[in-house]
């Protein structure tokens, strides 16, 4: 390889095809391996980078400016870290920016974005042409890559490319177990309200959330409907879930290949379907519910990542702008007769929601809590609450 390190470069992104992007390293010093995807959201970089659905991925922001809101402990989406920002990043491995992160200028900030990335072990790269990188992903699919940061600018580019080339990728990879909680716990924190913050809620309906990598704001949105929530590990059996006698069950979002996670989760989901309990799936939970009902999932070339995706609710005719973060999709042609397609992407026509005819069961591909993003789909939590009330 003839590529040389440019003067002043302290960060690089090495793609498996040999492409090298060089710029300024930010955040943690070191390297990280993963799949590179782009996110089109203009706000919410902290929520995005702490979303467990981004495990084993390197995230390129198409919006050029980040950092001005700083960071705080309340906006961390990853469970398990609590307020400890030094917890291992069971979320994005690295981040790529057009401009260097700016200094914080927000009253809620308690740390700069760069310092926060250092403490969380997130490797960053700034000063690169993110438009060119986005075009590579758009035309060729999400590449395998290594992102590296060395203040002295010492990089073995051949070794980094070889490492990226040798990675097997997300297909066949179960990431729900490492993203999930290790033991059950209760949740009673609602959505953020001005000026109090996150109020405690009084649950009236018992809901079990199976944690495949759940986001805090999904739990908050669910709690705000009056749900008394218990979160259980990804490997929890249907018998253990039903022994809690819940009014409903939620299959959460999460990372990795749904078919791989489905090897142990699908048989349990099928038992939950047969129980007659109201059931709601979100993102990975949507995909695994579809698998449990007899459909297939497939890997997408680019995936959907952003807070500005148009989705049509076929049950109402309404078009919603939603938040999405997924690299796999349900094959709409594989849906069985008893399953109705309820939502569809207006970007590419892929499936974004299903419901089981005659049963209180539905799921969506997008993230209805919208953190970050618009709240067009927040009503889905009320729809789930209505199903529990009706039952």
126: CB partners within 8 A, 6+ apart: 11, 23, 24, 25, 26, 96, 97, 98, 99, 100, 101
Radius of gyration of the chain (CA): 21
Which of the residues are catalytic?
283, 367, 369
Say what the pTM is. 0.95
Q: For CATH 3.40.50.880, list the domain ranges present in the chain.
A: 176-390
Q: Going residue by residue through the chain (391 aa), what tens digit of pLDDT does each one get?
A: 447 899 999 999 999 999 999 999 999 999 999 999 999 999 999 999 999 999 999 999 999 999 999 999 999 999 864 434 445 568 999 999 999 999 999 999 999 999 999 999 999 999 999 999 999 999 999 999 999 999 999 999 999 999 999 999 999 999 999 999 999 999 999 998 888 788 888 889 999 999 999 999 999 999 999 999 999 999 999 999 999 999 999 999 999 999 999 999 999 999 999 999 999 999 999 999 999 999 999 999 999 999 999 999 999 999 999 999 999 999 999 999 999 999 999 999 999 999 999 999 999 999 999 999 999 999 999 999 999 999 8
List the CATH code of the domain at 11-166.
Answer: 3.50.30.20
**Residue 162 belongs to what H/E stretch?**
helix 157-166
- Whether domain 176-390 has CATH 3.40.50.880: the reply is yes
Q: List, by residue range, all CATH 3.50.30.20 domains of the chain.
A: 11-166
């Amino acid at each position: 390889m003839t590529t040389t390190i440019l003067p002043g470069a302290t960060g690089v992104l090495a793609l498996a095809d040999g492409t090298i992007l060089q710029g300024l390293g930010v955040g943690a010093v070191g390297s990280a391996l993963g799949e590179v995807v782009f996110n089109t959201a203009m706000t919410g970089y902290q929520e995005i980078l702490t979303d467990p659905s981004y495990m084993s991925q390197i995230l390129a922001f198409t919006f050029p400016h980040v950092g001005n809101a700083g960071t705080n402990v309340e906006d961390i989406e990853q469970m398990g870290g609590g307020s400890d920002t030094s917890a291992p990043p069971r979320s994005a491995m690295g981040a790529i920016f057009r401009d260097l992160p700016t200094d914080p200028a927000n009253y809620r900030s308690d740390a700069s974005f760069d310092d926060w990335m250092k403490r969380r072990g997130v490797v960053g790269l700034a000063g690169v042409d993110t438009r060119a990188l986005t075009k590579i992903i758009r035309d060729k699919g999400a590449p395998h890559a290594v992102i590296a940061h060395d203040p002295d600018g010492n990089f073995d580019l051949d070794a980094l490319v070889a490492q990226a080339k040798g990675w097997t990728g997300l297909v066949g990879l179960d990431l729900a177990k490492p993203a999930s909680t290790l033991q059950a716990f209760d949740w009673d924190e609602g959505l953020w309200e001005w000026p109090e913050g996150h109020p405690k809620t009084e649950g009236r309906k018992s809901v079990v959330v199976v944690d495949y990598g759940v986001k805090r704001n999904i739990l908050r949105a669910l709690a705000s409907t009056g749900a008394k929530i218990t979160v259980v590990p990804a490997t929890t059996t249907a018998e253990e879930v039903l022994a809690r006698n819940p009014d409903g069950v939620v299959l959460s979002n999460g990372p990795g290949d749904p078919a791989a996670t489905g090897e142990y989760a699908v048989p349990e989901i099928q038992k939950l379907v047969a129980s007659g309990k109201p059931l709601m799936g979100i993102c990975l939970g949507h995909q695994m519910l579809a698998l449990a009902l007899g459909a297939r999932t497939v890997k997408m070339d680019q995936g959907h990542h952003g807070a500005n995706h148009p989705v049509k609710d076929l049950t109402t005719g309404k078009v919603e702008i939603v938040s999405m973060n997924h690299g796999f999709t349900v094959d709409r042609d594989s849906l069985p007769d008893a399953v109705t397609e309820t939502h569809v992407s207006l970007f590419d026509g892929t499936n974004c929601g299903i419901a089981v005819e005659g049963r209180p069961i539905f799921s969506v591909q997008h993230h209805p809590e919208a953190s970050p993003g618009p709240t067009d789909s927040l009503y889905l939590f009320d729809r789930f609450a209505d199903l529990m009330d009706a039952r």
